[in-house]
């Protein structure tokens, strides 16, 4: 059903959801809406779970969230709908939510893809069902990959192109650095250990221990999901090695013909710019495999623009069940990520996946 829907992404796969339940989501209370056609076939699903948020330290909101949204790197939430009448299936999900309004106050869906039709499908259904909604724009970044690495390098500024070529040649020549990719379950523990350690080394000089230390549940999720992604053929995990030792590592998922860049780490003391060198190696590998795009996911920073990434617009979506507490947030333009309304048990830093 997911593969035949506009919601199709690695973040909504059965593997992603079950890996989260087995790690970070063990204690979650599922709130899953399903829709079946007259023949009993599943044609719609909204995989959610129950949480809570608090306004001003005193008003509590029963809050629904997309499953596997936290401590995973999750992006692009959606309702999974398929078949000829997708609008009708979406409306059935919204109607079921409205009928269960005694059980929830808010539904928070952050970082929807703006190019999948998710916002229009969901908000149209909410309006028909009598639910409140409000959205705001979010920035994403994507590199469209050409047919060759030479063509990609030509798309960069001359200064950027020369720097990358010089650093790549010097690392390969003087330090005898080689690029490797994780190909088996036997190799995966070494790559995972390097990711956790080098991610910490990357951020420690900035006073941040990195997400895997701040959120141990995220490390547990990676340990659960990466073997599944490897079996499914999605895992794209690369390393730069010097004398056999991993000095930089990057992990992402090849899904739907695109590379989704998730996390990376490197030893900043080994060689200046080693992280950029590895990114160039990963981009070349993607091009060689016929991957169409390198998805930076959330945020559109100067660093991403220097890689010739272009801006894509997505959305945050806040849905309310039209009770007085929900109307209070809608009227005052309050979001669940600000100083007034906070989600329970979240330590996510601003802008962090």
- pLDDT tens, position by position, 167-205: 999 998 888 999 999 999 999 999 999 999 999 999 999
C-alpha distance across the termini of the chain, in Å: 26
Contact 88, 36 (CB under 8 A): no
How confident is residue 347, by pLDDT bands cut at 50, 70 and 90?
low
User: How far apart are the C-alpha atoms of 320 and 123, rounded to whole Å?
Assistant: 11
- Across 14-28, 157-171, 217-231, the highest mean pLDDT is recorded for 217-231
Q: What pLDDT does 127 receive?
A: 97
pLDDT(352) > 50: no
Indicate the range of 51-60, 159-168, 232-241, 343-352 predicted with least confidence.
343-352
pLDDT(348) > 60: no
Rounded mean pLDDT, 287-309: 97
Q: Which residues contact 243 (CB under 8 A, 6 or more apart)?
A: 176
25 with 121, same domain: the answer is yes
Q: Evaluate whether residue 283 is within a structural domain.
A: yes
Rounded mean pLDDT, 208-229: 95
23 with 59, same domain: the answer is yes
193 with 57, same domain: the answer is no
Q: What pLDDT does 345 receive?
A: 73
DSSP E strands, 209-353:
235-242, 245-255, 258-266, 293-298, 310-320, 341-343
202 with 228, same domain: the answer is yes
User: How far apart are the C-alpha atoms of 221 and 162, rounded to whole Å?
Assistant: 38
Q: What pLDDT does 349 receive?
A: 42
Q: Evaluate whether residue 301 is within a structural domain.
A: no
154 with 129, same domain: the answer is no
Q: Evaluate whether residue 331 is within a structural domain.
A: yes
Residue 21 phi/psi, 5° resolution? Answer: -60, -35
CA Rg value for the chain: 21
Q: Evaluate whether residue 303 is within a structural domain.
A: no
Token pair recorded at residue 229: 């992604």
132 with 173, same domain: the answer is no
The Cα angle at residue 323 between residues 321 and 324, in degrees rounded to 5: 145
User: How far apart are the C-alpha atoms of 157 and 148, rounded to whole Å?
Assistant: 17
pTM above threshold 0.85: yes
Average pLDDT, the chain: 94
Rounded mean pLDDT, 43-66: 95
How confident is residue 346, by pLDDT bands cut at 50, 70 and 90?
low
265 with 320, same domain: the answer is no
Q: Give, as one character, the DSSP assignment of residue 263.
A: E
What kind and span of H or E run contains 325? helix 324-332
Range of the domain at 248: 146-291
What is the domain-level CATH number for residue 286? 3.40.630.30
190 with 246, same domain: the answer is yes
Q: Which residues contact 18 (CB under 8 A, 6 or more apart)?
A: 228
Q: Which residues contact 257 (CB under 8 A, 6 or more apart)?
A: 290, 291, 292, 293
- pLDDT tens, position by position, 309-339: 999 999 999 999 989 999 999 888 999 987 7
Tell me the percentage of the chain whose pLDDT exceeds 70. 98
Q: What pLDDT does 286 receive?
A: 98
In the block, tokens 């220097």 appear at 306
What is the domain-level CATH number for residue 53? 3.40.630
Contact 135, 119 (CB under 8 A): yes
User: How far apart are the C-alpha atoms of 307 and 277, rounded to whole Å?
Assistant: 12
How many domains does the structure of the chain reveal? 2
């Amino acid at each position: 059903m997911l593969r035949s829907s506009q919601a199709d992404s690695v973040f909504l796969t059965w593997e992603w959801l079950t890996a989260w339940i087995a790690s970070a989501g063990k204690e979650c209370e599922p709130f899953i809406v399903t829709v079946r056609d007259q023949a009993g076939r599943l044609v719609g699903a909204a995989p959610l779970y129950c949480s809570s948020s608090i306004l001003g330290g005193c008003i509590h909101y029963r809050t629904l969230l997309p499953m596997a949204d936290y401590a995973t790197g999750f992006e692009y939430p959606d309702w999974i709908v398929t078949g000829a009448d997708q609008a009708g299936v979406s409306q059935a999900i919204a109607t079921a939510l409205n009928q269960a309004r005694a059980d929830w106050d808010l539904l928070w869906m952050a970082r929807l893809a703006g190019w999948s039709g998710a916002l229009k499908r969901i908000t149209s259904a909410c309006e028909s069902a009598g639910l409140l909604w409000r959205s705001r724009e979010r920035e994403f970044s994507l590199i469209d990959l050409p047919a060759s690495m030479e063509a990609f390098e030509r798309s960069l500024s001359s200064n950027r192109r020369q720097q990358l070529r010089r650093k790549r040649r010097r690392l390969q020549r003087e330090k005898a650095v080689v690029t490797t990719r994780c190909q088996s379950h036997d190799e995966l523990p070494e790559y995972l250990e390097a990711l956790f350690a080098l991610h910490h080394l990357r951020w420690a000089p900035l006073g941040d221990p990195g997400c895997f230390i701040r959120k141990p549940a995220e490390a547990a999720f990676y340990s659960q999901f990466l073997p599944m992604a490897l079996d499914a053929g999605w895992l794209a995990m690369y390393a730069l090695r010097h004398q056999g030792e991993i000095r930089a590592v990057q992990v992402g998922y090849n899904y739907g013909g695109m590379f989704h860049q998730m996390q990376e780490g490197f030893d900043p003391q080994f060689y200046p710019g080693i992280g950029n060198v590895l990114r160039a190696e990963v981009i070349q590998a993607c091009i060689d495999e016929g991957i169409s795009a390198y998805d930076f996911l959330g945020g559109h920073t100067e660093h991403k623009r220097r890689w010739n990434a272009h801006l894509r617009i997505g959305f945050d979506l806040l849905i309310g069940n039209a009770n007085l507490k929900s109307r209070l947030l809608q009227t005052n333009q309050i979001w669940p990520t600000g100083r007034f309304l906070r989600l329970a048990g979240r330590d996510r830093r601003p802008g962090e996946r």
